[in-house]
Amino acid sequence: MIKQTQTRTISFYTFGCRLNQAETAVIENSFKDPQYTIVDISQPADIVVINTCTVTENGDADTRHLVHKISRLNPSAQIALVGCQAQIQKEKLLDLPNIHWVVGNAKKFDLAQIVQAVDIKPQVITPAIPRESFSIALAGIDSRHTRANLKIQDGCDFFCSFCEIPYARGRARSRNFENILQEAEILTAAGHKEVVLTGINIGTYMFEGKTLLDVIDALEQISGLKRIRISSIEPTTVPKDLIQKMRGTSKLCRYLHIPLQSGSNKILNQMERKYTVEEFVEFIQFAHKTVPEICIGTDVIVGFPGETGEDFQQTFDVLRENPIDYVHVFSYSKRSLAKSRLLKNEISAPTKKQRSQILRDLSNRKRRVFQERMLQTAPEVLFEEKKKDTWLGVTDNYIRVKVRSERNLHNLLVKVQLQQIENQTVAGQLL
C-alpha cells in the first residue's frame, strides 16, 4: 500500500434523509486538505463520493443510475459508495462500473484515510456497527445551506417489519452530550442560526441520563443560535413537555414531523409499530391544542401487503380529519432484510400508484389550508437563497416564504407579513 501525493479533485452526492446530509457534510469536511480540491457534483472529478440510501427500492435504483451516469461522463472517475446501501449490499455493489470503495456506516467517517492509500483492487470495508455511544471529531459546517444539520443519535431498536434501517445503521446509540454542544458552538460561530437535530430515532436519545429535552435545553443557552428544529421523531418517543416547550419564547421551532405510516390498526400491527391510530391522534390533537400554530407533518406508506381499500380509506380519513398539515407519501417496497418481505397479499403497482396520488393531492390541499391560516400573520423568516429578484426563506413552522427585495437577506431573520399563496409558497412583505 503506497500513499497518494498528487492533488485530486473530489465531489460529493447525498441520497436519502437529513441524517445522510449531515453525515456527508462531516465527510466532506474531512477532505478539506491541500491534497484535494472539492468540486460540485456537476463537474468531472477524480473521486466521487456517494452517500447512499436503502430505505426503498428507489434509493437503490437512484444509486445505480447516478453511478452509470458518472462513469459515462467521466470514465476515469473512482467512485466511493458509502453508508446504508454499502453496509447492506456490500460486494454486490462492485458489479457497478468505476466502484473503487464500498464503505459501510461504521467506517464512512474514515474515508479520507481510506482513499489515501492507492490500492489497485477495489475495497469493500463494511465491519459490524458498534453499539456504544459516540463522538464525532469534525463539525459538519455546510457553507451551502443556512440551516445546519446536527447529528445527535444513530441506529434504531424498534425493528418495524418493513424497515431495514436497524440492519443498515445498527442498534440505537446516542452521541456524547458535550460533543453535541461543541459542534453546535462551532456551527453557530460559523454563522448558522438554525440547527436541525437529526438521527434515526432521536426521541430515544439517552446519554448518561441526559434526554432529548436536556439537549434542547443546553442548546438554548448558545446565544448566537436562534432556532432549534427537531427532524422526524417517532410517535411514543415525544414527551408532552417537548410540545409545551414550543410555546412562548423558546428557540424550539413549532414543527413536528411524526410518522403515522398507516391509519389502519390492522396494518400498524403488521408493521409492528408501537402505537394505535387512536394514540397517535390523541397526541397530535394535544400538540395542536397546545401550540395552535404548530406545523405537523407525517409519513405514510401506501400498499403495505394486505392493505385493503377499507384500510386505505381509514388512512385517508385520519389524515383528512386531523391537524396534519402535509404528508410524505411512500409506496411500499419489499426490502431484503425486513420481516415484511414474507407477507402475502402484495398490492399491485397500479393500486399503489393510485393510492399515492390520492394522498399527495390531499397533502397539497392540507398544506394550503395551513398556509391560508397563517396569512396576515407576521412571523420571522430565515432567508436562505435568492432566485432572480426573489429571496426564499422559511418560518419556524415550516412555511416557505418568498419576498421581493433589493436587500441582501442571506442568513438574516426578518419579520415578514404573509400575504398570498403562490405555488405552495407564501409571498410576503418585509416589515
The span from the CA of 233 to the CA of 398, in Å, is 16
- For cell 441506529, the residue is 155
Q: Which is nearer to ligand SF4, 14 or 161 (CB)?
A: 161
3 state SS of 160: coil
Supply the minimum distance, in Å, between the C-beta of residue 297 and ligand SF4: 15
The span from the CA of 144 to the CA of 384, in Å, is 9
C-alpha 37: how far from its chain's center? 27
The span from the CA of 419 to the CA of 403, in Å, is 10
Q: Are 116 and 4 in contact (CB under 8 A)?
A: yes
Select the residue interacting with ligand SF4 from 48, 141, 160, 327 (CB under 6 A).
Answer: 160
Q: Which is nearer to ligand SF4, 99 or 163 (CB)?
A: 163
Q: Are 17 and 149 in contact (CB under 8 A)?
A: no
Cα distances from 39 to residues 8, 46, 418, in angstroms, run 10, 10, 38
Q: Which three cell numbers stand for residue 253?
A: 421551532
Q: Which is nearer to ligand SF4, 103 or 301 (CB)?
A: 301
3 state SS of 22: helix
- Interface with ligand SF4 by CB under 6 A: which range of 20-28, 113-121, 162-170, 391-399? 162-170
Select the residue interacting with ligand SF4 from 159, 226, 411, 419 (CB under 6 A).
Answer: 159
Amino acid at 204: T
Supply the minimum distance, in Å, between the C-beta of residue 298 and ligand SF4: 13
State the number of binding residues for ligand SF4 (CB under 6 A).
10
Residue 163 as a binder of ligand SF4 (CB under 6 A): the answer is yes
Q: Are 184 and 169 in contact (CB under 8 A)?
A: no
- Interface with ligand SF4 by CB under 6 A: which range of 61-69, 123-131, 152-160, 389-397? 152-160
Residue 158 as a binder of ligand SF4 (CB under 6 A): the answer is yes
Residue 200 as a binder of ligand SF4 (CB under 6 A): the answer is yes
Q: Which is nearer to ligand SF4, 14 or 204 (CB)?
A: 204
Residue 68: DSSP 8-state: H
C-alpha 401: how far from its chain's center? 21
Q: Which is nearer to ligand SF4, 13 or 158 (CB)?
A: 158
Q: Which three cell numbers stand for residue 174?
A: 446516542
Select the residue interacting with ligand SF4 from 25, 103, 148, 156 (CB under 6 A).
Answer: 156
Select the residue interacting with ligand SF4 from 129, 165, 196, 212 (CB under 6 A).
Answer: 165
Q: Which is nearer to ligand SF4, 159 or 316 (CB)?
A: 159
Cα distances from 273 to residues 54, 123, 270, in angstroms, run 20, 37, 8
Residue 316 as a binder of ligand SF4 (CB under 6 A): the answer is no
Residue 154 as a binder of ligand SF4 (CB under 6 A): the answer is no
- Interface with ligand SF4 by CB under 6 A: which range of 67-75, 159-167, 345-353, 372-380? 159-167
Select the residue interacting with ligand SF4 from 59, 83, 140, 166 (CB under 6 A).
Answer: 166
Where does this chain bind ligand SF4 (CB under 6 A)? 156, 158-160, 163, 165-166, 200-201, 234
